[in-house]
Structure 1
Amino acid sequence: MISRRTLLGSLAATTAGLALAPRAFAQPAPLGSAAAGMPLHLVNATGAYDNASIRVYIVGNDGNQQVRVTPDGQLAPVALADNGPDGFTDYAIPLAASGTTTLNLPQMSGRIYVALGDPLKFKAVEDGNGKAALAYPAGWVEGDPNYPVLHDCAEFTYNSGGMYGNTTMVDMFSVPLEIKLNGAKEQTTGTLKDGARAKVFADVKAADGFGKLIVGDKRVIAPGHGLDSGLFATDHLAPAIDEAWSTYESKDLKVTTNAGTFTGRVGGGKLAFTGPGSVSFDKPSTRDVLFCDGTLAAPNDGTLGPVAAILGAALNRSILTTADAQPGTDPATFYRQQLTNHYAKAMHEATRDGKAYGFAFDDVAGFASYIEDGAPKEITLTLTAF
């Protein structure tokens, strides 16, 4: 399974937001061609906004360069000349006057953004290699030009191997989105329970230390981004992390990956594992846990990476000290501790299938709002009821 961590490749920061870094995939159709594509249906079921108030943006990369999809379903390269007099591009795809909007989705890897009310401001910039790239919306940054805009996105990779997609709350949650993928079978994920959007806002606001992550009625910011913005304590999870490191000073921790079972103990401040390979981890910070980065960064090496992912998931789900065999697979045991990722907890409780991408390693043990199909025929993105 392609996880969200490998779905899009790395994200490179720019001064105005995020730019999708290119990633090598199977060669898609040439630019300007709509031949290698499939139908993308866009459904407005918000009940709060009419079609004329909603704009869609499909942006990403084709393996070689950053691209966007035109309203007629073709790939076009991002170009600095696309910036208008206001300094921003106009890549918006309007919805049909009423009912379902159907577009051609070419082979590419990227995001489908939806903006409700006001348009999004994507700026074409020059990346470190001198190529045209996009500064993506960063709704968690107060100074970002898209901060006032109600928006959200789904992520996907569509290539010769199939379609891989997810609804993501890793950065923030704002617009309820559902993905339905038809191919070898019919799959749906991301669907929220009735009234769940309001409940997410209420639950996160009520959790001790998480209340500042609420931005009016527009969005809930993920705690990692809140930490970077001074809205979330830098040491919030420190006692839980300390407890985990202390627990495994006196007993073994077993972590099973596709490579086999690793056995770990804490000594000298490091959690060191033996088994299919020797890997070790310094004690992570709260930020490392929330971003699944730093000491918990997961390279695609088949050894260190999978162990890091499982540790990151266990710490976010607050199960590392309650089970000495990981990964945990019983969702009834997740988020039961007072010090936990209450943001991710709220996201999982909101969805009908219990799956969500509340943090970057939420795909561990299959709890992410992710679907894939090797023989895709069509995909539907629905903006569900507020």
Structure 2
Amino acid sequence: MRRKLTRRLLAPAAAAALLTAVLSVQAPSSADAAVPATIPLKLVNNSGRGDAVYVYIIGTQLSTGQQGWADANGTFHAWPAGGNPPTPAPDASIAGPASGQSKTVRLPKFSGRVYFSYGQKLVFKLTTGGLVQPAVQNPTDPNHDILFNWSEYTLNDAGIWLNSTQVDMFSAPYAVGVQRADGSTVTTGHLKSGGYNGVLSDLRGRSGGWAQLVQTRSDGTVLRALAPGHGLESGALPASVMDDYINRVWQKYASSTLTVTPFGDQPNTKYFGKVSGNTMNFTNSSGAVVTSFQKPDADSVFGCHKLLDAPNDQVRGPISRTLCAGYNRTTLLTNASQPDSSATGFYQDGVTNQYARAIHARMADGKAYAFAFDDVGNHESLVNDGNPQSATLTLDPFN
């Protein structure tokens, strides 16, 4: 079974917690027990940059539930107790390969992240609640002016789930891959030639605040493009950026019905949405109301939270995931039966998630995690294997 991205609060920073996407873990079946305690992770540096690279393997150890980090051999180290104000974390960095080189480390059974930075080590701190992860939307975060990125992964007895993600930002380009038991490999996350600069140019050429998502260091280095939810938080995007589309959706489904079939393997499980005033009510096939949503705002749409909260249940969460994908891809007006299996009609409305559109258009395989539930309809940049022999993380060129 595929792992889903969920929105989960991490340890709070000095002022607020970073809301981010992490991989949720499901219990493996008794038949899946062949995955060793660690597997090789080959780090390949094709970036063309002369900066030193630093790598971090950070997450939750699945056997104990402890938060910590892994060294290059895959050995787990628990974080020490933190403080308030936050105290410096131990240096968990691993020296990465130089440009044109590769290096192999080992991934332990974690649910966590592989960070990498160029030219400077990342700053991690510990509070009494755990690790403070970099908050790219915070201009005072100590990592704000560092060029870095991360991949998310879960490795457990049932296999590996490894993604490339742009849920929080579009930054240093990279791809992920897995080698299977038969020797074949599967990869995702590579941009088309010119795709990195293409995404940045696309956003910079758009009015309405999208250009302000791009953040540049004082020396001219482009650091990242913030995801639009963080753009709202920072003031780069106006709060009304999605209002016109949301209003049209609300108007349409006041007089027609939106059908949601949230489970691909359960085609007969359908829910029917209809707007009444400020509420969209969903009924099941018996006509009973199963959940309701208030009219969302842009923050709820981009973050797939708040008024589009998606609990890990079997009704509201799956419906909300589908709605969130439809709003971000702006397909709710053109397709009254959601979700969409084809990407052909995504991002065609004049009011859309321009960030997600720009990224998907420039991915070599069209797949990305440009918002939290971009896996709805299988449009996500994720590799998975039940018996992984090794994994790869490739640092790609900035072109």
TM over 0.5: yes
**Structure 2 CA distance, aligned partners of 1:181 and 1:9?**
26
> Are 1:142 and 2:139 matched, yes or no?
yes
> Are 1:58 and 2:57 matched, yes or no?
yes
Equivalent in the alignment of 1:31: none
Matches within 5 A, 1:252-271: 252-258=257-263, 260-271=269-280
**Structure 2 CA distance, aligned partners of 1:265 and 1:36?**
49
Structure 2: gaps spanning 5 or more residues: 29-34, 217-221
**Structure 1 CA distance, aligned partners of 2:9 and 2:137?**
19
> Are 1:363 and 2:375 matched, yes or no?
yes
1:173-223 Cα offsets, whole Å, 9 max, x none, are 111110011125521100111111111111111222201111021110011
Structure 1 residue corresponding to 2:110, chosen from 104, 108, 111 = 108
Deviation at 1:116, TM superposition (A): 0.3
Native 8 Å contact 1:55 1:93 kept in 2: yes
Equivalent in the alignment of 1:274: 283
- Identity among equivalent pairs (%): 37
SS at match of 1:47: coil
Equivalent in the alignment of 2:77: 76
Structure-2 change in CA distance of 1:237 and 1:81 (3 Å): closer
Structure 1 residue corresponding to 2:240, chosen from 229, 235, 241 = 235
1:110-143 Cα offsets, whole Å, 9 max, x none, are 000000011100112211xxxxx21111122111
Matches within 5 A, 1:1-80: 1-6=1-6, 10-15=9-14, 18=18, 36-49=37-50, 53-63=52-62, 64-80=65-81
Equivalent in the alignment of 1:169: 166
Native 8 Å contact 2:11 2:132 kept in 1: no
**Structure 2 CA distance, aligned partners of 1:335 and 1:22?**
26
Deviation at 1:255, TM superposition (A): 0.7
Equivalent in the alignment of 2:207: 208
Deviation at 1:80, TM superposition (A): 3.6
Structure 1: gaps spanning 5 or more residues: 28-33, 128-132
Structure-2 change in CA distance of 1:270 and 1:87 (3 Å): same
Counterpart residue type for residue 5 of structure 1: L
1:271-294 Cα offsets, whole Å, 9 max, x none, are 111116612111001100000001
Structure-2 change in CA distance of 1:313 and 1:23 (3 Å): closer
Deviation at 1:25, TM superposition (A): 5.9
> Are 1:220 and 2:225 matched, yes or no?
yes
Deviation at 1:12, TM superposition (A): 4.3
Structure-2 change in CA distance of 1:361 and 1:121 (3 Å): same
Question: What RMSD, in angstroms, separates the aligned Cα atoms of the two structures?
Answer: 2.5
**Structure 1 CA distance, aligned partners of 2:203 and 2:180?**
36
Structure-2 change in CA distance of 1:24 and 1:5 (3 Å): closer
Q: Which is worse superposed, 250-259 or 226-235?
A: 250-259
Which structure has more helix as a fraction of its residues? 1
**Structure 1 CA distance, aligned partners of 2:180 and 2:318?**
29
1:47-77 Cα offsets, whole Å, 9 max, x none, are 1235xx1000110111411110113321110
1:206-255 Cα offsets, whole Å, 9 max, x none, are 22220111102111001100101111111110111011011001111111
**Structure 1 CA distance, aligned partners of 2:87 and 2:295?**
46
Count of residues paired in the alignment: 371
Equivalent in the alignment of 2:156: 159
Equivalent in the alignment of 2:185: 186
Native 8 Å contact 1:39 1:103 kept in 2: yes
Native 8 Å contact 1:108 1:158 kept in 2: yes
SS at match of 1:257: coil
Q: Which is worse superposed, 155-164 or 326-335?
A: 326-335
Native 8 Å contact 1:73 1:104 kept in 2: yes
Deviation at 1:10, TM superposition (A): 4.5
**Structure 1 CA distance, aligned partners of 2:19 and 2:253?**
40
> Are 1:126 and 2:128 matched, yes or no?
yes
Native 8 Å contact 2:73 2:106 kept in 1: yes
Counterpart residue type for residue 298 of structure 1: A
Counterpart residue type for residue 249 of structure 2: A
1:130-180 Cα offsets, whole Å, 9 max, x none, are xxx211111221110000000000000000011011110000011111001
